[in-house]
Amino acid sequence: MSGGHSAPWARGLAVLLVVMGGLAAMPARAAGDDEAAIASHLAEYLRSARTVISQYQDLINDPQKGDKGLTPDRVIAEATALYEQVTGEDPMATDPAGSEGRLLRAQMQAIRDVMAEHEAEINEPGTGFKGFIPAVFARLVNEKFADAAGSEARVKTTAPADLVRNRKARPDAWENAVIEEKFEKPDWPRGKGFSETTEVDGRPAFRLIVPEYYKASCLACHGEPKGEMDITGYPKEGGKEGDLGSAISVTLFQ
């Protein structure tokens, strides 16, 4: 077209074609975005709830105090507040019939159930350390979540293979490869997750794994000196603040 000017009808057609192209391309892209958002929201809600349990470790382990008031409702309310700070989204505003809404609600129910099952133990006066630590809480929540939604989605806390304490947390081949070939590389951007559509148990699945690093609060158990027993009876890993120490892995079956 000479001079770069096109007739109005031609411009209109061009716009229409662009819009249609966009629409035609949308389903696949939207599905991918959805999966990435759902997986990262499940990881984030687990992390928020685990943070609540972490913040109350002193309270949980206080031998002087009976009722700690750490009810399922309170844990959910505080986890939701943390989650909203990070994601800017209200988990209860999701469509309860949609994939994200169902999975987040199943995860919240798993958290409620774990808290309800451990309330008596947490409220037991006279015992100090109770072993109700964030990692155990997260594992129990993930197990309950798998009971409810495991054919649709799974959430797992894992770690670099040489750091794993509980064999249930061992990284599978895919997780191990991402940890070793990406997260442990010095040039991998800190905190950046990795996602891929692949297969799990022979089924096509979207997978997301997010790295986490030791904080000062982790080192009483995972820090130095390596090999010394921690309060839970496991040998310390010799980790340092900032070391890669954990990863949250989410599977969404397609």
Contact between 156 and ligand HEC by CB under 6 A: the answer reads no
Rounded Cα distance between 152 and 150, Å, is 5
Token pair listed for 47: 């992390």
Stretch binding ligand HEC (CB under 6 A), from 19-27, 72-80, 181-189, 230-238: 230-238
Stretch binding ligand HEC (CB under 6 A), from 16-24, 28-36, 103-111, 207-215: 207-215
Stretch binding ligand HEC (CB under 6 A), from 4-12, 35-43, 118-126, 158-166: 158-166
Contact between 139 and ligand HEC by CB under 6 A: the answer reads yes
Residue 223, class by beta-carbon neighbours within 10 Å (0-12 exposed, 13-18 middle, 19+ buried)?
Answer: buried
Element (H, E) at 194: strand 194-200
Amino acid letter, 56: Y
Give, as one character, the DSSP assignment of residue 189. P
Rounded Cα distance between 67 and 79, Å, is 20
Residue 166 or 254 having the CB closest to ligand HEC: 166
Contact between 135 and ligand HEC by CB under 6 A: the answer reads yes
Stretch binding ligand HEC (CB under 6 A), from 14-22, 71-79, 80-88, 132-140: 132-140
Rounded Cα distance between 251 and 209, Å, is 9
Closest CA to 172 of 162, 155, 152, 158: 158
Give, as one character, the DSSP assignment of residue 1. -
User: Which residues in the 53-112 window bind ligand HEC by CB under 6 A?
Assistant: none
Q: How far is the CB of 29 from ligand HEC (least distance, A)?
A: 33
Question: Are 75 and 115 a contacting pair, CB within 8 Å?
Answer: yes
Rounded Cα distance between 154 and 143, Å, is 9
Contact between 159 and ligand HEC by CB under 6 A: the answer reads yes
Of the candidate residues 183, 214, 223, 251, the single one contacting ligand HEC (CB under 6 A): 214
As a residue count, the chain comes to 254
Residue 100 or 243 having the CB closest to ligand HEC: 243
3-state class (DSSP) for residue 247: strand
Contact between 221 and ligand HEC by CB under 6 A: the answer reads yes
Of the candidate residues 14, 18, 116, 220, the single one contacting ligand HEC (CB under 6 A): 220
Looking at the DSSP assignment, which residues form a beta bridge with residue 157? 248
Of the candidate residues 38, 110, 146, 169, the single one contacting ligand HEC (CB under 6 A): 169
Contact between 212 and ligand HEC by CB under 6 A: the answer reads yes
Residues binding ligand HEC (CB under 6 A) = 133, 135-136, 139, 157, 159, 163-166, 169, 212, 214-215, 217-218, 220-222, 230-232, 234, 245-246
